[in-house]
Amino acid sequence: MKEIEDFLRENRPITKDDPTFILETQRRMQQVEGIKGEVDRQRRHGRVALILALAAGLALGVFATVIAFLYPVDVESASEGIVQSVRLFLQSYRQYLLMPVALLAITLGIVLSRKPVRL
Amino acid sequence: MTQERFIAEVRQQQEPLRRFLLALCAGNGALADDIAQDALVRAYVASGSFLGLSKFSTWLFRIAYNCYIDNCRKSCPEDAPLQEAVGVQSADSSDRIFRYQQLYQALEKLPEKEKAAIALFYFEDRSIKEISAILDMPQGTVKYQLSMGRQHLKQHIQL
């Protein structure tokens, strides 16, 4: 066994000196950086779009709730027109309006409190 | 880890890393360098998760070994050209070339774990503990792989 050990130690592989190796590594790393940057940019866009959508939903929800509670519709007289129909609909379900508004607020809070993932 | 620091670490480790992979690839230098590049890219992508619990080189060698195993699964390394061994630098005597050919032919016949243990222990002078961390196996198993590797090499190398 000693002979084998000596043979292995005396004949360890010798790599060809390749100056392009590190350059190639750097080139590949720059490509990785490019991909990382692009993915980061897309994630940021997605996050901004999500926050805007949630904020808009929340604002609309609050507005609808306020309208439903502050300006009650006379169910008997209000039967024509789109605006009246919407108000009537809100009036009928106003006890449930706070639920989606609360859900939107919670979701927005979670999204805003989470740090964006850095690749 | 910044790109500059990573490159600085890689500069230090590139030769041992390429030598380790060259031994694993049984003298196929082009394949070894390809796997080394792949390993370095993977290491760079994962460098944020390197906590410094082990040496950087141990971590890097482990990634390289995993890349090599992945490559073996994708393609059989049996078509590794042995003439690559002839082109090894500083092997200017035919005797030396013959010994490299003999070594690579013998290494090629070893199971992957034995080959890796032999390469790390004899070519890279790594301790059993480090090899255990790189190959993700207990120290006793590393000793067993080394013992089996030596026995198998003895059958294939004429001294």
More confident residue, A114 or A4: A4
Nearest CB partner across the interface for A13, out of B6, B45, B123: B123
Average pLDDT over residues B17-29: 91
pLDDT at position B86 is 44
Q: Cα–Cα distance between B119 and B115 in angstroms, integer? A: 6
Q: CB neighbours (10 Å) of residue A110?
A: 10
For the whole model, what pTM was predicted? Answer: 0.71
What percent of chain B is modeled with pLDDT above 90? 51
Q: Across the interface, do B154 and A4 touch by the CB < 8 Å criterion? A: yes
| B22, B87 contact by CB (below 8 A) | no
Collapsing DSSP states into helix, strand and coil, what is residue B85?
helix
| B32, B21 contact by CB (below 8 A) | yes
Q: Cα–Cα distance between B107 and B112 in angstroms, integer? A: 9
- Count of positions (residues) in chain B: 159
pLDDT at position B134 is 94
What rounded mean pLDDT belongs to chain A? 83
What would the two tokens of residue B136 be? 């993700």
Collapsing DSSP states into helix, strand and coil, what is residue A116?
coil
Q: How far is CA A91 from the centre of its chain?
A: 34
Q: Cα–Cα distance between B47 and B50 in angstroms, integer? A: 5
Mutate which of A1, A3, A12 to disrupt the B interface (most B C-beta within 10 Å)? Answer: A12
Q: What residues contact A100, with CB distance under 8 A and at least 6 apart? A: A57, A61
Q: CB neighbours (10 Å) of residue B59?
A: 21
Q: Cα–Cα distance between B124 and B106 in angstroms, integer? A: 18
Place of tokens 């003999």: B102
Average pLDDT over residues A51-73: 86
User: Which value does ipTM take for this structure?
Assistant: 0.78
Q: Across the interface, do A16 and B100 touch by the CB < 8 Å criterion? A: no
Nearest CB partner across the interface for B19, out of A9, A13, A29: A13
pLDDT at position A74 is 67
Q: Looking at beta carbons, which residues of chain A come within 8 Å of B15?
A: 15
Q: What are phi and psi of B10, to 5 degrees?
A: -65, -40
What would the two tokens of residue B107 be? 């290494």
pLDDT tens digits for range B103-159: 898 998 999 999 999 999 999 999 999 999 999 999 999 999 999 999 999 988 877
Q: Across the interface, do B99 and A22 touch by the CB < 8 Å criterion? A: no
pLDDT tens digits for range A8-39: 888 888 887 777 888 888 898 889 889 989 99
Q: Cα–Cα distance between B47 and B23 in angstroms, integer? A: 25
Give A67 to chain B, closest Cα distance, Å.
51
- CATH number of B3-156: 2.60.40.10, 1.20.140.160, 3.40.50.280, 1.10.240.10? 1.20.140.160
Q: Cα–Cα distance between B42 and A40 in angstroms, integer? A: 18
What would the two tokens of residue A66 be? 């306020």
Question: In Å, what is the CA distance from B99 to each residue of A12, A24, B42, B102, B159?
Answer: 10, 31, 34, 5, 9
Nearest CB partner across the interface for A8, out of B11, B40, B122: B122
Give A17 to chain B, closest Cα distance, Å.
8
**B153 in contact with A at a CB cutoff of 8 Å?**
yes
Nearest CB partner across the interface for B99, out of A11, A33, A118: A11
Give B25 to chain A, closest Cα distance, Å.
11
Question: In Å, what is the CA distance from A113 to each residue of A99, A103, A116, B35, B85?
Answer: 21, 15, 9, 41, 58
CA-nearest of A100, A25, A1 to B38 is A25
Burial class (CB in 10 A: 0-12, 13-18, 19+), B33: buried
More confident residue, A27 or A91: A27
pLDDT at position A79 is 60
The count of CB pairs under 8 A between chains A and B is: 86
pLDDT tens digits for range B38-87: 999 999 988 888 888 888 999 999 999 999 999 988 875 555 455 444 44
Residue B2 has pLDDT above 70, yes or no: yes
Place of tokens 């013992």: B147
Q: Looking at beta carbons, which residues of chain B come within 8 Å of A25?
A: 7, 10, 14, 37, 40-41
Q: Cα–Cα distance between A15 and A6 in angstroms, integer? A: 20
DSSP A115: P
